[in-house]
Structure 1
């Protein structure tokens, strides 16, 4: 039975319903992960859980130690990764509360430690990243969203920006012109590090606000928190279905 790891983003620093059996405080060659890795049972299956931003939520997107997080999950026995991300909606279909299971991404980040293949190497290594998300995991997320009756899109292009600030309206115009449908700050280098470690990886993205310029209203944390409160319960139900299946 595959051991799945869930990486919880903003709004998912705890996985309610997880019967915790062990809290693993791990060190890696890249430092400490964002939080203890929780090993337990969820939806009748063994699962590992890691809060991407720490618990409590305290680590901004550009300071997450992505290398330590992925390394520690593999060290703890993870064989596949289900990542949950809060995002802004660019495409008209990506309204607040909508889910997206992206099939592609564009990386706009800079200055992040983004690979394990550096330093004193015996040989240069390049990983194929043509299709950044594992198709099998994507289809399982899509099936679970259908079963839960959630509004979702089974395809989308995730734009990963640096943060921690939100984007300008002009930047969103640029991202839309580049073909992006949703925008977040944590999709990279997480996805490519999973690929370098040979871990199947897929993203369940919850739209928590219209991207800058896509609404006449200002983006407020109160509105984002309201969307997180309404949407993360559905996300947990979807994850449960994926694991149970």
Structure 2
């Protein structure tokens, strides 16, 4: 069992990692955002990938999520923790707070390559519970041990971006859609992790109140996000370091068996090329 870290905005390297190698990986789905970095922390092997590439070169809609997730699975990652900046849609989730979403609402308009399957390979994975409850618990326990609170049970709305949202959209997402935070990157990442049988959760850092509040001075701007983000990102990284050092990530869970009843195409109907990448996902 191997842990992967997917770094989001501001997290382009994992400081303190004893780097063993950087590996440029090619996948059947293209090239990931950046080379994968393998290192040791607290004596445990970790793979790190910068979601947006070095220096935040890729906007959310430009990220090759399939290549990122497949590359992690290809090097042996079985459990993955993401880090993401989000806007808060709830008064009780203040800028600087951390939350691990349990649910996702896809508002990306279907423009992103969202599945490994198709083109002759049929599968339908269950995403009723799209994140790993056990992985979430272990991260939350690690956070509590260093005095950091992480809210759980929230719903993350993923929007297309790269523009920031309108007030009408913000009211819809926090109202009829029932969402608690809004971001641009966790879909299709979370669902591809499930297709790859990787146990997944993300530590979401609230940077703002989006734009639903009446006071215009609280509406999200990039300048405000960057100004508030550094301290919270340091806290999130400290939580991950503590989790790596103190938690066991060798556990089994339903995420690790997501394809057992999901793949409809029989092996005999697969081409050698299809079988090669499906076998990676099934490991």
Q: TM-score range with shorter-chain normalisation?
A: over 0.9
**What is the 5 A alignment of 1:20-169?**
20-109=19-108, 110-121=110-121, 124-169=122-167
Q: Could you tell me which runs of 5 or more consecutive residues in structure 1 were left unpaired when the two chains were aligned.
A: none
Q: Secondary structure of 2:95's match? A: coil
CA contact (8 A) 2:155 2:180 kept: yes
Q: Secondary structure of 1:53's match? A: coil
Supply the distance in 2 between the matched residues of 1:63 and 1:101 (Cα, whole angstroms): 24
Q: Which structure: greater helix fraction? A: 2
Paired position in structure 1 for 2:189: 190
CA contact (8 A) 2:89 2:212 kept: no
Supply the distance in 1 between the matched residues of 2:220 and 2:157 (Cα, whole angstroms): 18
For residues 45-80 of structure 1, the C-alpha deviation after alignment (integer angstroms, 9 at most, x for no partner) is 110000000011110001100000000011111111
Supply the distance in 2 between the matched residues of 1:224 and 1:175 (Cα, whole angstroms): 20
Report the Cα offset of residue 108 of structure 1: 0.6
Supply the distance in 2 between the matched residues of 1:133 and 1:161 (Cα, whole angstroms): 18
Q: In the comparison of the two structures, how many residue pairs are matched?
A: 242
Report the Cα offset of residue 86 of structure 1: 0.5
Report the Cα offset of residue 222 of structure 1: 2.2
Q: TM-score, normalised by structure 1?
A: 0.96
Paired position in structure 2 for 1:221: 222
CA contact (8 A) 1:43 1:241 kept: no
Structure 1 runs (4+) greater than 3 angstroms displaced = none
Supply the distance in 1 between the matched residues of 2:207 and 2:10 (Cα, whole angstroms): 10
CA contact (8 A) 2:90 2:209 kept: no
For residues 138-181 of structure 1, the C-alpha deviation after alignment (integer angstroms, 9 at most, x for no partner) is 10121122222224312200000000111111101000111100
Report the Cα offset of residue 6 of structure 1: 0.2
**How much is the aligned-residue C-alpha RMSD, in angstroms?**
1.1
Supply the distance in 2 between the matched residues of 1:43 and 1:238 (Cα, whole angstroms): 13
Q: TM-score, normalised by structure 2?
A: 0.83
